[in-house]
Amino acid sequence: MHSACPALDDRIARLRQLAQADARLEGVLLYGSWTLGEADAHSDIEAYLYIQEDHLADFNGPAFLAQLAPLKLAYTNMYGILAVVFDDLMRGEFHLTAAGPGIDEVPTWQGMVHLPHPDDAILLDRTGRLTHAARQLAEFRPPQPVPTAQQLSDELANWTLMLAHVLARGETARAHALLHSVIAPQQLQLCRLLRDSTAHWLTPSRALEQDLPAADRDRYTATTATARQHDVRTAACNSWRWSRNLAAEAADRWTINLPHELHEQISSLLNETR
């Protein structure tokens, strides 16, 4: 597989060579935009390094990755993933994982990870176990509409009620964070579900400009704001109106249950904060 970024292709090819030469590694599995055929000059390199259990404790991840290119930064991030920045400013995320349990876990990613070309995503597989596991992720399984729409509609009501309380307390910065980091991704997922556009389900803002109609993009834009009190309050009201519209559309399409009285009460609380 080749991408629109020759530098990334070269780095992946180099990673394949290094992994094959390092007997401590049992397998290497790529994930992310390269495996979806969507990588470009701004893409990261993301992979699982499956290390033999007796070598995991002494495997020096930064030293291994520095053989790809000089590192400007290497640290374990908040999710326990080795994050690096190469000298050309390409980012990388690498899971250093025990081969036995790590490879066994791969099939459980169904519905969360899609590898349309699993054999291309595998840079090393000494035993065949990783290939067998990764091939189970080749078929994309879109979310089930009815339970997913119900879940998202309930989430939006719950989190927007919290947003209304936070605004009433006068915590503008916290409300701003809730609006953009918690509520907006779930709105976009519900919108994608309704538009039958779930290819970027796990990162619903990805390729939004190409995936969703202009009317939805405008509604999303109206939910964004600077962290100023008036702007956040206006965006919160716009956000809740869009959430209610999406939930109502989902209810008409899939007959999900909506707590209408609660929705009205949330609207009243938000209006009081304006």
**What pLDDT is stored for residue 1 in this prediction?**
66
Please check the confidence at residue 5 and state whether its pLDDT lies above 90: no
CB neighbours of residue 61 within 10 Å: 16
Band of residue 3 on the pLDDT scale cut at 50, 70, 90: low
pLDDT tens for residues 129-162?
Answer: 999 999 999 987 778 999 999 999 999 999 999 9
Please check the confidence at residue 100 and state whether its pLDDT lies above 90: yes
For residues 129 and 117, the answer to whether their CB atoms sit within 8 Å is: no
Residue-range domain boundaries for the chain: 6-137, 145-273
- Report the run of H or E that residue 28 belongs to, with start and end: strand 25-31
Band of residue 36 on the pLDDT scale cut at 50, 70, 90: confident
Residue type, 244: R
CA distance 257 to 71: 52
Instruction: For domain 6-137, give the CATH number.
Output: 3.30.460.10
Strand order across the 25-31 sheet: 71-76, 82-86, 91-98, 45-51, 25-31, 122-125
pTM: 0.77
pLDDT tens for residues 182-229?
Answer: 999 999 999 999 999 998 888 899 999 999 999 999 999 999 999 999
Band of residue 37 on the pLDDT scale cut at 50, 70, 90: confident
For residues 19 and 72, the answer to whether their CB atoms sit within 8 Å is: no
Please check the confidence at residue 241 and state whether its pLDDT lies above 80: yes
For residues 189 and 150, the answer to whether their CB atoms sit within 8 Å is: no
For residues 83 and 93, the answer to whether their CB atoms sit within 8 Å is: yes
Please check the confidence at residue 179 and state whether its pLDDT lies above 70: yes
pLDDT average, residue stretch 240-263 = 97
Q: What are phi and psi of 38, to 5 degrees?
A: -115, 10
Least confident span in 11-25, 56-70, 103-117: 103-117
Please check the confidence at residue 41 and state whether its pLDDT lies above 70: yes
Q: What is the mean pLDDT of the chain?
A: 94
Please check the confidence at residue 272 and state whether its pLDDT lies above 70: yes
Burial of 101 (0-12, 13-18, 19+ CB in 10 A): exposed
For residues 72 and 26, the answer to whether their CB atoms sit within 8 Å is: no
CA distance 95 to 57: 14
Tokens of 116: 């349309």
For residues 87 and 70, the answer to whether their CB atoms sit within 8 Å is: yes
- Within the chain, residue ranges assigned H as helices are 6-21, 53-56, 61-65, 99-105, 118-121, 129-134, 145-169, 172-177, 184-194, 208-211, 214-222, 229-254, 260-273
Q: Does domain 145-273 have CATH number 1.20.120.330?
A: yes
**What pLDDT is stored for residue 46 in this prediction?**
96
